[in-house]
Structure 1
């Protein structure tokens, strides 16, 4: 490293480091949803089949979740800054390739590569925060800002995708990442991201292969359940293979790896074990809130995709405000109190939302309960992320960040499949004696009640969190 670069990194203020982490996380989450609105235009221009079109979304989500642990360990071995820069380069280059794609295969390949880049970026941003903000209050505020940036990215997808596709072209859904990514690469090269630059260790190749392949196979199988049913060989085969590979991964890490990719000793840290368990459940909460509420607005109340996105904006703003407030409270109250308060909001908000029907008004049927659920998400998400990563040894900050992100993504994937199946089955039983909108409302109502149950489950697991305060 040159002396000029060293001085620039040492002089980098905390706000610049935090802005880098938050902006990178915003891009990662935004790209999981921004493409959805553009899918009809993409299909018309590139000639996708319906099955192939789904992989414009699934290709990204699959590699994003599957490679997260590997990306987290890369941040530990090579340093969070280098891993973040490498992820940004891959993400930006694949975005350019996607925006210029002339055939379906090129676009799907670009989305797969984007997912790998995102899997490097997401855990690296958490490692940046863990190694750059060591004081309890500063770290809590950083987690609040990071969580809020991801939430805003998820909600901005529908609005930004609709605006870019309508005003310019579907290609700009991808091309917009290129100048933003280039700017973030420059900032990353000039910003300090903690005292570590990585450690000289060889990668646990057996663990990397079995862990990554196992996660990818499991998520792939779960993704197929919506089209083929849970008993189909297309679902059972990959899911069982994934579970077997993950079993092999655990054996390798416990018995054979001299320097394991994911040291199992980390699960003896109570915050790591309990926090990741709750994040797995939280993935289902997030899916129920953002995905199924959007479907309710469109399929039951008749909103357009853009109107549905705008209809959820008040909840997104509420989440951002509460997440920042919760981060300020965390060092004083500890994690358990905030999680329990958030779970109370989940139960009340989803219970209220489950009463909505085809004749409900927006304000009382959707806005009120979603604001309450958004308060719960704002209280719990940054708190769970802090609990799952705060007690990790510095040398394992990357893999802990990868584990936390993986828990949310896997929980969301499984939650989407289970909740969608439940909603479809309930709607089918109601279809004979109800209007289509009423039948769908009944299905979504069941989903919201199940989400309230997930809130109760998170509250139950929260008793395992350490009693001491963070500050």
Structure 2
């Protein structure tokens, strides 16, 4: 039996873990220019430092969710913590670009085991509608903050201690959580199920890697080669669906996609991954390469995005219970689109408070409220036996969106850049900021799948859970 106070302490521990994992996906964006200077990469190869993590993370999250369901969520959670700590050490001690990309892939695979088990524990610890809604709101807000706080934390760490320490700081957090987990977290699993869908995990991860590779290489490849890569990715996705249809223990039970809330919520989450990671990556390049400012100054400049996201996530959590996830998500997407539009006006002479401050603040406000709405929408209509796979799918949507977003907006910027002068670079970045609207359109389509609530969200959630 879990006491009321104990389960909220458990939520705090789990949210700390979720914050660390999502932060690790975003904090490296600030350090990319420093990493590229110190390590050897092929042309465009440095993109694989953030994208390699996101791909392995997103591609294996579904398998990680199923493993946590079958082997025990607390056990898998603690194992994931230890693996994440070890892979973080490997990243910090990487001696070459290839070694860092490989270590980041291992770190992403560790996160794929750790995060869905953490979110599954949240959902089993808070089984009733009102408290689950609040807990998921806090979880979504924490994850949203983690996704935007990387620039604020990463700048001082990179300039003051070196880029290696953005990985080393994970180790004490992992140790602390692993020590406290047995006392605060309950273990649970889905009874009577056996088997892991390794074929499904291999096909979907391969499809994602080929997709991102195609996007990254598109500016320097022929049209025929690019099309061939996209076709190959599509065929692998099709093979994944066939595997899931024939598997006795599918990685993703296709029946869960009958839920419009789950599909719509995950499209919204994909949209936030595309736009948030993509915009952050482009703005990092603009600030450090076109303007020549330091990582620590960039971190301070972009702090408003994280601050706006924190405030908006709190507000968004309350708004969802009053007006529904659909309205909050839709308005949030439009708000972030306005912020991205302001960023398209940046020049090499732009004053920070003239454009970037307002653009980042407005974008962050939409991001904070929107990620909460997307998280609640995609998980509110899920049965307990599917909590692991649903949480893995929701987290995978954000990470996969992030990997594709970085690759796509970088490709747009590269395709519209002629030369290496600050003016030429800025022109490419401005076009990339316009492309954020394409990312936002994915989320707007997801909003269309969410049903308009006829009664408050909290009672509806209670009805779902108790039925």
Structure-1-length-normalised TM-score: 0.86
Question: In 1, distance between residues paired with 2:142 and 2:249?
Answer: 34
Residue of structure 2 equivalent to 1:229:
221
Residue of structure 2 equivalent to 1:343:
333
The structure 2 residue matched to 1:470, chosen from 447, 454, 457, is 457
Question: In 2, distance between residues paired with 1:268 and 1:427?
Answer: 43
The alpha-carbon deviation at position 22 of structure 1 amounts to 1.5
Question: In 2, distance between residues paired with 1:290 and 1:56?
Answer: 15
Residue of structure 1 equivalent to 2:436:
451
The alpha-carbon deviation at position 437 of structure 1 amounts to 3.4
**Residue 285 of structure 2 is aligned to residue 295 of structure 1:** yes
**Residue 62 of structure 2 is aligned to residue 79 of structure 1:** no
The structure 2 residue matched to 1:327, chosen from 295, 317, 321, is 317
**Residue 370 of structure 2 is aligned to residue 383 of structure 1:** no
Question: In 2, distance between residues paired with 1:303 and 1:322?
Answer: 28
**Residue 234 of structure 2 is aligned to residue 247 of structure 1:** no
Q: 1:220 to 1:13 in 2, by over 3 A?
A: farther
Question: In 1, distance between residues paired with 2:191 and 2:107?
Answer: 24
Q: 1:133 to 1:246 in 2, by over 3 A?
A: same
Structure-2-length-normalised TM-score: 0.86
Deviation digits for residues 194-242 of structure 1, max 9, x if unmatched?
A: 754665322234323323333344334434446x436374x55654433
The alpha-carbon deviation at position 318 of structure 1 amounts to 1.0
Residue of structure 2 equivalent to 1:285:
275
Question: What is the DSSP-based 3-state SS (H/G/I as helix, E as strand, rest coil) of the residue aligned with 1:13?
Answer: helix
Residue of structure 2 equivalent to 1:4:
none
Residue of structure 1 equivalent to 2:411:
421
Q: 1:198 to 1:23 in 2, by over 3 A?
A: farther
Residue of structure 1 equivalent to 2:308:
318
The structure 1 residue matched to 2:146, chosen from 153, 170, 178, is 153
The alpha-carbon deviation at position 266 of structure 1 amounts to 0.6
Residue of structure 1 equivalent to 2:463:
none
Residue of structure 2 equivalent to 1:3:
none
Deviation digits for residues 134-171 of structure 1, max 9, x if unmatched?
A: 34443333233323333333344344444344444544
Q: 1:162 to 1:301 in 2, by over 3 A?
A: closer
**Residue 103 of structure 2 is aligned to residue 113 of structure 1:** no
Greater shift in the superposed pair: 348-357 or 448-457: 448-457
Question: In 1, distance between residues paired with 2:442 and 2:162?
Answer: 44
Question: What is the DSSP-based 3-state SS (H/G/I as helix, E as strand, rest coil) of the residue aligned with 1:359?
Answer: coil
The alpha-carbon deviation at position 319 of structure 1 amounts to 0.2
Question: What is the DSSP-based 3-state SS (H/G/I as helix, E as strand, rest coil) of the residue aligned with 2:400?
Answer: helix
The structure 2 residue matched to 1:306, chosen from 274, 296, 306, is 296
**Residue 162 of structure 2 is aligned to residue 172 of structure 1:** no
Deviation digits for residues 272-321 of structure 1, max 9, x if unmatched?
A: 11112222222222134322233333344442222112111012111011
**Residue 263 of structure 2 is aligned to residue 273 of structure 1:** yes
Deviation digits for residues 311-354 of structure 1, max 9, x if unmatched?
A: 11012111011112211221221111101221231232222332
Question: In 2, distance between residues paired with 1:43 and 1:374?
Answer: 27
Question: In 2, distance between residues paired with 1:197 and 1:190?
Answer: 21
**Residue 353 of structure 2 is aligned to residue 368 of structure 1:** no
Count of paired positions: 455
Question: In 2, distance between residues paired with 1:421 and 1:107?
Answer: 22
Q: Which runs of 5+ in 2 are unaligned?
A: 459-467
Question: In 2, distance between residues paired with 1:225 and 1:385?
Answer: 32
**2:257 and 2:263 in contact (8 A); partners too:** yes
Residue of structure 2 equivalent to 1:125:
118
**1:214 and 1:242 in contact (8 A); partners too:** yes
